[in-house]
Amino acid sequence: MWAQTKYMNGFSRSSRGFSLVELSVVLIVIGLIIGAVSIGKDVHRNAVHQRITSEFIQGWLLAYDSYVAGVGVVPADNASVPTGCIRGDCAVGSSGDELCDGDLRNTMLAAGIGLPAGRAEGREDRYVYLDSNGLPHDLKVCFQSVRWSEPGSSSGNYVLRSRNVMVITGVTPALAGFIDHYFDTVVDARFGDVREEQYANSTSTDKQPWSLDETHNYGETSRSYDEDQSAELTAYMRMHR
């Protein structure tokens, strides 16, 4: 009888459930682990965005300015009869021809301009990075003359002028916001030196958020799965010459 009671008591002790205190401690630990992983991902992503902006994009800004200072005209413009536009193709009714890929590289190197490291030698105009889901994106830089909205002669009036821009494709929404804040301090796709492609020539007086965010995915903007690649945007950055 004593042995049976001992067995039953032992069975009862070994098979009892967790107490509320024990469950609370486990849940707190799990929450801390998840929070630490999330914070770690955000810190890493911001570090990647900082490097892209300060080294790659800023590097191309410096290369562009160095070209203008050394050659006396903007890239691929006519040195004899300068127009002030990329390729000498000023945007009138629509955007001019882009200066991209090998043409961009050769134009810069022919003028003795050093290029950012980029993806690799011969691919200095590209930069591969990972989005918040750990999937790759191929950032690309070109230069182009486009229609650009600027304040007119009266308050609240905007007019379109031909302006040279850096065209940045393959930009995730998170990176777009980082670049915008880095150069303009205010994230707005309509105003400032950094704009989304579709809003650069808008004459609206209203501020405009970037058209996509991290809930949108590449090719499938109607759904949001953790394993999906983030959506991409095209950004314009105005050159001041």
Confidence of residue 2 (pLDDT cuts 50, 70, 90): very low
**197 lies in some domain:** yes
pTM reported for the whole predicted model? 0.81
Alpha carbon distance 240, 75 (integer Å): 13
Q: Is the model more confident about 21 or about 142?
A: 142
In-domain check, residue 210? yes
d(CA 123, CA 137): 14
**C-alpha torsion sign, points 52, 176, 134, 136:** negative
Total structural domains in the chain? Answer: 1
SS3 annotation, 60-86: HHHHHHHHHHHHCCCCCCCCCCCCCCH
CA distance 119 to 141: 12
**Cα 187 to Cα 180: distance, rounded to the nearest angstrom:** 5
Domain extent, residue 47, equals 19-238
175 found inside a domain: yes
SS3 breakdown of the chain: % helix, strand, coil, rounded to 5? 40, 20, 40
Residue of 169, 200, 191 whose CA lies nearest to 98: 169
CB-based burial label for 87 (10 Å; 0-12, 13-18, 19+): buried
Residue carrying structure tokens 């007019």: 159
Q: Is position 1 within any domain?
A: no
Instruction: Please report whether residue 3 resides in a domain.
Output: no
> What's the rounded Cα separation, in Å, for the pair 62 and 23?
57
Q: Which residue, chain included where needed, has tokens 């579709």? A: 198
Is residue 164 scored above 80 in pLDDT? yes
Residue 7 covered by a domain: no
At 228, is the pLDDT very low, low, confident or very high (cuts 50, 70, 90)? confident
Q: Which of 19-28, 81-90, 229-238 has the lowest mean pLDDT?
A: 19-28
Q: What is the mean pLDDT of residues 165-188?
A: 96
Local confidence band at 61 (pLDDT 50, 70, 90 cut-offs): very high
CA 208/CA 1 separation, integer angstroms: 81
Question: Does the residue 6 lie in any domain?
Answer: no
Q: What is the pLDDT of residues 112-136, one digit of tens each?
A: 999 999 999 999 999 999 988 888 9
Mean pLDDT of 222-230: 69
Q: What is the pLDDT of residue 7?
A: 46
- The pLDDT tens digits of the residues spanning 73-116 come to 999 999 999 999 999 999 887 889 999 999 999 999 999 999 99
- Look at residue 13 and tell me if it is in a domain: no
Lowest mean pLDDT among 12-16, 110-114, 165-169: 12-16
What's the pLDDT score for residue 1?
45
